[in-house]
Amino acid sequence: MRIALVHDWLVRLGGAERVLIAFHKIFPEAPIYTLFYDKEFVSQYLPKAKITPSFLHKVPNIKKLHPWLKILMPAAIESFDLSDFDLIISSSHEFSHGVLSKQSAKHICFYHSPSRILWDRTYEYARDFKERGKGAFKLSLIKLGQHFLRIWDHGASQRPDVVLANSKHVAQRIKKYYGREAKVIYPPVTLSREHLVREKPLGYSHLGNTRPHTTYIQNLSPVYQNKPSLLVRLAKRIPPLYGSAREVPQWLYPAGFSFRINTVHRTTLARLADYFLIVSQLYPHKNIDLAVEAFKHLPSLNLLIIGEGPEYKNLKSKIKKLKLRNVELLGFVSDEDLPVYYKGCLAYLICNEEDFGISPIEAMSFGKPVLAYKKGGAKESVLEGKTGEFFDKLEPDCLSEAVELITEKIKNGHFNELAIKKHSEKFSFERFKKEVFDIIKFLDYNLA
């Protein structure tokens, strides 16, 4: 049996990408078809996978331009010739469910969500567009594009033979917009205490006494490897001047450099004992600015934010404008370093209506409680009073009050660390693999 995997795009690590990586672990020989990809991402997370991109991958600067090229993506996803495959597994949050397959092939679609921009967040997206000062003409073009994409999206949703959802919350959305019944298979959590290799957390931070910057340059071009040249020494001194290596202009580096940099301070575990943690892609709908506002009223507690995305600069500017000494935006943190932040945090924080949310489960695998907005997939993964607490309104005062209440409970020993870890085991990779195999066997495929 020949199997193909399909995913929208591979640019940065999020929950959807972690599910694709899990599928790749289950089916390592299956090629991955995607609209476009980032070479650094693939080399780091899918180094042995065979990646086949669409024609959009050839568009210059596609990673930044792709929001304006979505009208072309239905044609791009349908351009993949999958006629040689017996089983297609798509991991979709926008377009992957629309691949074409031969009549005898079976298509299993794992939905992370129907497209939020096309359906339930259409008007929220328009309001955000206006608030950012974009022109009315551009907004009119976007609305027209959304109309035609909705027609295609609904038609494409009828193509999969089996529909899977990452939560009951998403299954309800699939039923509403597509009229399809979805079986719920919760995503796997693969990051755990087994990955914990460091003893102290890392962070670029004024939250405590720090040592000087330590700069790691990975995937260095062979031209410069093992050569303590002046150029390399100069390159190592550039990131601290910018505060974050992710913001350093590429042109400042000599030709031949190909790398991912992580610039960090080392901070003592004791000083960071009272911090809340957010690990998320930085998009407006994640409401991370709400957490920043809430912690303005909580000077005795710290907030660490890990992640990348379009809102990075806005959040950084807001933290600076409010002169917050207890909020730190760390940017990208590798999976090798991430467990130490989970281990050191007081609790994990969710400020939006999550479809499911893998990062909160990762936090629970370290015995940490979760404080979540009481809507969406969090209601399926967080047990109120046992593995975390909820807050009801997306308002800074409501959130800051909830933070104070859960902090008091944590310090009074209300939460059982072992019970929280035990709960997180329900979302294991082994459970996910078994449920996927059960679906495939249901389709009368022999996996032997």
CATH number at residue 348: 3.40.50.2000
Instruction: Indicate whether 375 and 410 sit together in one domain.
Output: yes
- Report yes or no on 194 lying in a domain: no
Instruction: Indicate whether 246 and 309 sit together in one domain.
Output: no
Q: So what's the pLDDT on residue 367?
A: 94
Q: Residue 171: is its pLDDT beyond 80?
A: yes
Instruction: Indicate whether 300 and 435 sit together in one domain.
Output: no
Instruction: Indicate whether 247 and 222 sit together in one domain.
Output: yes
pLDDT band at 214, cuts 50/70/90?
Answer: very low
Q: Residue 203: is its pLDDT beyond 70?
A: no
Q: Residue 53: is its pLDDT beyond 60?
A: yes
3-state helix, strand, coil in the chain (%, to 5): 40, 15, 40
Instruction: Indicate whether 21 and 114 sit together in one domain.
Output: yes
Q: What is the mean predicted confidence (pLDDT) over 40-59?
A: 94
pLDDT band at 116, cuts 50/70/90?
Answer: confident
Nearby residues of 5 by Cβ (< 8 Å), 6 or more positions away = 20, 23, 24, 27, 30, 31, 32, 33, 88, 89, 90, 91
- Report yes or no on 202 lying in a domain: no
81 phi and psi, to 5 degrees? Answer: -90, 105
Q: What is the mean predicted confidence (pLDDT) over 188-210?
A: 50
Q: What is the mean predicted confidence (pLDDT) over 99-120?
A: 94
More confident residue, 126 or 439: 439
Q: Three-state SS for 346?
A: coil
pLDDT band at 248, cuts 50/70/90?
Answer: very low
Q: What is the mean predicted confidence (pLDDT) over 36-60?
A: 94
Instruction: Indicate whether 17 and 164 sit together in one domain.
Output: yes
Candidates 302, 358, 312; CA nearest to 335 is: 358
Sequence letter at residue 262: N
Q: What is the mean predicted confidence (pLDDT) over 345-366?
A: 92
39 phi and psi, to 5 degrees? Answer: -60, -40
Instruction: Indicate whether 344 and 422 sit together in one domain.
Output: yes
Q: Report CA dihedral (55, 251, 338, 43) to the nearest 10 degrees.
A: 40
Nearby residues of 19 by Cβ (< 8 Å), 6 or more positions away = 91, 110, 112, 166, 187, 188
Instruction: Indicate whether 438 and 414 sit together in one domain.
Output: no
Q: What is the mean predicted confidence (pLDDT) over 196-208?
A: 42
Q: So what's the pLDDT on residue 216?
A: 36
Q: So what's the pLDDT on residue 68?
A: 87
Q: So what's the pLDDT on residue 134?
A: 66
- Report yes or no on 120 lying in a domain: yes
Q: What is the mean predicted confidence (pLDDT) over 38-49?
A: 92
> In this predicted structure, which of 221-225, 284-288, 325-329, 433-437 has the lowest mean pLDDT?
221-225
Q: So what's the pLDDT on residue 446?
A: 58
Share of the chain above pLDDT 70, in %: 79
Q: So what's the pLDDT on residue 273?
A: 56
Candidates 152, 23, 171, 163; CA nearest to 98 is: 152
In the predicted model, what is the mean pLDDT of the chain?
83
Q: So what's the pLDDT on residue 139?
A: 79
Q: So what's the pLDDT on residue 205?
A: 40
Nearby residues of 368 by Cβ (< 8 Å), 6 or more positions away = 277, 342, 345, 346, 347, 348, 420
Q: So what's the pLDDT on residue 342?
A: 92
Tally Cβ neighbours within 10 Å of residue 433.
15
Q: Residue 221: is its pLDDT beyond 90?
A: no
More confident residue, 254 or 148: 148
Q: What pTM did the predictor assign?
A: 0.77
Share of the chain above pLDDT 90, in %: 62
Q: So what's the pLDDT on residue 447?
A: 55
Instruction: Indicate whether 247 and 367 sit together in one domain.
Output: no
Q: What is the mean predicted confidence (pLDDT) over 316-325?
A: 92
Q: So what's the pLDDT on residue 244?
A: 40
- Report yes or no on 197 lying in a domain: no
Domain range for 227:
212-264
- Report yes or no on 204 lying in a domain: no
Q: The CATH number of the domain where 66 resides is what?
A: 3.40.50
pLDDT band at 274, cuts 50/70/90?
Answer: confident
Q: Residue 125: is its pLDDT beyond 90?
A: no
Q: Residue 223: is its pLDDT beyond 50?
A: no
Q: What is the mean predicted confidence (pLDDT) over 362-370?
A: 94
Q: So what's the pLDDT on residue 420?
A: 95
Instruction: Indicate whether 116 and 96 sit together in one domain.
Output: yes
Q: So what's the pLDDT on residue 6?
A: 98
